[in-house]
Chains A and B, each alone.
Chain A
C-alpha cells in the first residue's frame, strides 16, 4: 500500500459526459501528479500540483482540468468525454525524489 488513494476504482460513462477523479496523497506529500495510461502505452504525464498551485503541465487536453485543494487532495476533471479517453488514470504524490502511485481509476467511455 503506497498510501495514495484514488476513487473511484472503476468508472463507466458515455461519450460527451463529464467525470471527476479524486486522489488523496500520502500524508505530508505536497506534490500531486496525474498520469494517463492508455492501452499499450506507457504512463503519460498530465499535470502536477504542488501545495495547491499548478507546477508543471504535460500532454493534458484542454477538456481536462485539475486542481489541488487546501487539504492537498486533488481532483482531475474530464469533460466532453470521447472513446479515446478510456484509460487508466493514476495519481502519484511525492515529497522528494520518489513518486508513490495510487492504484488508479479505470475509466471506460462507451
Chain B
C-alpha cells in the first residue's frame, strides 16, 4: 500500500515556465512533508519542507503548497531552469520531523532550454 503517491512519473516544461509537481498521501497521521531533488549518481538533496500547520512555504523559486483536506501537496518551481532537471521525491513523516520518512516514487522533471 503506497502511502505517498506521485502519479506523474515524468514532466517536461520549457525554460522560464512554471513546473508543478504533485503528490498525494493517504495517511492522515502525516504532519510534515518534504521535497527532495535527486541528480543521477547522487543522493537525494533536501529542497523544501512544510509542516501541516501551514498551507504554503516559499524559498526562492520553490514554493510548496499543502491542502490537508485533499491530502495533496504540490511543488511549484518558477521560473524553471535547465539545472532543475532531476528526479523530485515527495516525502512525508508522521512524527513532526524528518524521521521515518515515507517517499513517493519520484517525478522526473526535464526543463528544456
Contacts and interface: CB of A to CB of B under 8 A. Distances in A.
A1 to B, nearest CB: 10
A98 B43 contact: no
Contacts of B45: 2, 101
Give the size category of B's interface with A.
20 to 34
Given A2-B43, A4-B43, A103-B43, A45 B98 contact: no
A51 interface: no
B100 A45 contact: yes
Nearest to A102: B43
Contacts, number: 60
Interface string B27-51: 0000010101000011111100100
A7 interface: no
Contacts of B91: 43
B51 to A, nearest CB: 9
Interface of B: 4, 6, 32, 34, 36, 41-46, 49, 89, 91, 97-106
4 smallest A-B Cβ distances: which pairs?
A: A101-B43, A42-B103, A43-B103, A42-B105
